[in-house]
Structure 1
Amino acid sequence: MQVHHFIAALWVAAEETPYPEGPYFKTLALSGGRPLNVARMRWPDVDLERRAWTFVDGKSELRTAVPLADETVSLLQNLRNARAYQGDFVFSSAHGRLPLRSPTQTVAALRRLGPHLAEESARELGRPWHLYDVRRVVRITLAQFDSPDVADVAVGRGGWNRSLVELGPASCWDRARAALDAWARALKDAAASVKAPQ
């Protein structure tokens, strides 16, 4: 499975970026969620045992549930165990009381920290990357692991209710989670090759 190098470079830059921005970008890359939805992720909406995240989508304003890859669950468990939260927001510079500041400002900070990221996005996209490029690339890649309908369920994209009806709720959910797990493995492998000496 081909992983865009700019997403692998994003992962590497995120690993070198402290909380909250680094884990935010890793979660964004793993989930393919809308950037604002991920930035506003709340602990009460995350069920680590069921490996699911339920939220009100910022675009459609519909209540949406998506499966979480094992890697995402592990990342969130580590955050939960390592941080003293006084509020509900997972990614916050205010101890969980406020969501992550503007994702656009966060992108600017990450671009400064990841020169390889800028090179890869210019090479692959022909321009600097944008937050929504991450979601688009994740969804396209997930569709290659299974199908476009399953990819829609995995990222919480509009029209996913149709997919659940056509494929069956349990089957579609399990297939979406399997695609997310396969994506997480491919992403980490690609990131390891980005870090490896040339």
Structure 2
Amino acid sequence: MKKKLTSRYVDTVTAPGPKRLEVYDQTLPGFGIRVSTSGGKTWFCSPRVNGCIKRIKIGTYPALALSEARDRARELLRDIQLGVAPANKPTTLGEVVPQFIELWAKPRNRGWKEQERLLNQKWVRLFDKSLEDIERSEVVRILDEIVANGTPGRANHALAALKKLLNWCLDRGIIKANPIAGLNPPTKPKARDRILTDAELSALWSTAEDEGYPFGTLTQILVLTGQRRGEVSEMRWSQVDFATATWTIPAERAKNGIAHDVPLSPAVIDILSGMPRFAGSDLVFTTTGTTPVSGFGRAKDRFDQAIGSNDWWFHDLRRTAVSGMARLGVSPHVIEKVLNHKSGIISGVAAVYNRYSYADEKREALEQWAAENLKIKNRASSGRTK
């Protein structure tokens, strides 16, 4: 967030939560104030040193007034422009998180937003600590609290995100040792086997129809195609061929790095044909025209109420589609082709030599699954869904 900082604004600004607020000064680029959810306010500047963005803490407000902090930031930024490196202060976790996201997570991980959210939410209590001073016992204590709150899976994900960050810091020489090297996940990961019942699927579909664009229609396409949420939410109009009723997921957007043709049933074509389009935007699901839709959590809360359960994830819709197609008699190798799986029934040497696309079989499978969803919906309307 950028704003011309004034004494009045600095005195009254608060962090709306759940994350801290960072405001960059329009008067002096690179200078800003960080406001924690507890109300603390810290001045900082963010110059680029040796190709990396470095966060330098200047002081706290009100001990240091706006004019004093801005003058100090101007001095630091000037020194760096002249080639005088700032004092080699210990790097805090809060300073290194944005660097890690920009330099490592974004270029390599399609799920970088989730990593950023986990780091900013679960480890914020350690943000003011030097990386060298983070103790293993502190990390374990935070993980124990996450587990105690009833989200053991979230604790595992939070630990994985922190491990990646600290290993990255170790590789770059920012730290000499990883304080949580070898730390086991707090709980044993459990493979999910959740699928939605016909009654739940019908309730979800009805709510999705009422919800409309973007989350309702997106959810309907998740159900009917069995593709990953990230792939559907990042769909482009240029990838959809209405003439052949095919959606092509390019290799760079597919999770396994393999381009994938998804046959679109008439039900999906009808949904896409009735959707709004942003002028000048190629994104199918967007509220800005420039970025894919986000904020699935709030939409899921509404779907939870309709289903009567919160014990499901959007990814479970993929598993539900797989189970539904298997119930209809679709062969396992065809289902794998629908999912764009690399390994499984067709793997090893067979995968190298079997280049048949199974396009017709995939189309028939997805059309059968779409027809089955219509039957499930009709049975629910007649009061016969179980």
Please name the residue that 1:112 is paired with.
302
Q: Which residue does the alignment assign to 1:142?
A: 325
Q: Which whole-Å deviations, capped at 9, do the CAs of 1:83-131 have from their partners, x for residues lacking one? A: 3432111011123x22111xxx3243243255231x2xx4xxxx61101
Provide the C-alpha distance between the structure 2 equivalents of 1:107 and 1:87, rounded to a whole number of angstroms. 24
Is residue 2:237 matched to residue 1:43?
A: yes
TM-score, normalised via structure 2 length: 0.43
2:380 counterpart SS class: helix
Quick check: 1:155 aligned with 2:335?
A: no
Larger helix percent:
1
The Cα of 1:39 is off from its aligned counterpart by 0.4
Give the 3 Å change call, closer, same or farther, for CA 88–197 of structure 1 in structure 2. same
Q: Determine the C-alpha separation between the residues in 1 that align with 2:301 and 2:355.
A: 40
**Residues 1:181 and 2:367 are matched in the alignment:** yes
Between Structure 1 and Structure 2, whose CA radius of gyration is higher? 2
Q: Is the 8 A contact 2:277 2:284 kept in 1?
A: no
Deviation at 1:197, TM superposition (A): 5.3
Is the contact made by 1:42 and 1:90 (CA closer than 8 Å) also made in structure 2? yes
Cα distance, 1:149–1:40 mapped onto 2, change above 3 Å: same
User: 1:46 & 1:140 partners in 2: Cα distance?
Assistant: 26
Indicate whether 1:92 and 2:276 are aligned. Answer: no
* Structure 1 residue 27 displacement after superposition: 0.6
Q: Say whether the 8 Å CA contact 2:204–2:303 is kept in structure 1.
A: no
- Contact 1:87 1:98 (8 Å CA) reproduced: no
Report the more deviating stretch, 35-44 or 85-94: 85-94
* CA-CA distance at 1:163 after TM superposition: 7.3
2:376 maps to 1:190: yes
Alpha-carbon contact 1:37-1:58 (below 8 Å) kept: yes
Distance 1:140 1:167 in 2: 25
Distance, in Å, in 2 between the alignment partners of 1:163 and 1:192 is 40
Which residue of the partner structure matches residue 215 of structure 2? 21
The answer to whether the aligner puts 1:64 opposite 2:260 as a matched pair is: yes
> What is the CA distance between 1:52 and its match in structure 2?
1.0
Residue in structure 1 matched with residue 52 of structure 2 by the alignment: none
Query: 1:44-100 CA distances to partner (integer Å, 9 max, x unpaired)?
Result: 111111111111344212222221112111211222xx43432111011123x2211
- 1:184, distance to aligned residue in structure 2 (A): 0.7
Are the structure 2 counterparts of residues 158 and 9 from structure 1 closer, same or farther at C-alpha, using a change threshold of 3 Å?
Answer: farther
Aligned residues between the structures: 182
**Match of residue 271 from structure 2:** 75
Distance 1:111 1:165 in 2: 46
- Indicate yes or no: 2:132 matched with 1:132: no
Amino acid at match of 1:141: G
CA contact (8 A) 1:30 1:183 kept: yes
SS in 2 for 1:93: coil
- Contact in 2 for aligned 1:41/1:89 (Cα 8 Å): yes
**Which one scores higher on RCO, CA 8 angstroms, separation ≥ 6?**
1
Structure 2, unaligned stretches of length 5 or more?
1-195
The normalised TM-score by structure 1 is: 0.79
Alpha-carbon RMSD across the aligned residues, in angstroms, is: 2.7
SS in 1 for 2:274: helix
Change (3 A) 1:52 1:28: same
Worse-superposed segment, 30-39 or 157-166: 157-166
Aligned residues: percent identity? Answer: 25
Q: Kindly provide the amino acid, as one letter, of the partner of residue 47 in structure 1.
A: D
1:132–1:32 Cα change, 3 Å: same
Q: CA deviation at 1:12?
A: 1.1
| In 1: Cα distance, 2:351 partner to 2:200 partner | 29
8 A contact 1:51–1:68 mirrored in 2: yes
Counterpart Cα distance in 2 of 1:163 and 1:85: 42
The 2-side partners of 1:93 and 1:178 are apart by: 33
Residue equivalent to 2:187: none
Consecutive unaligned residues of structure 1, counting only runs of 5 or more, are none
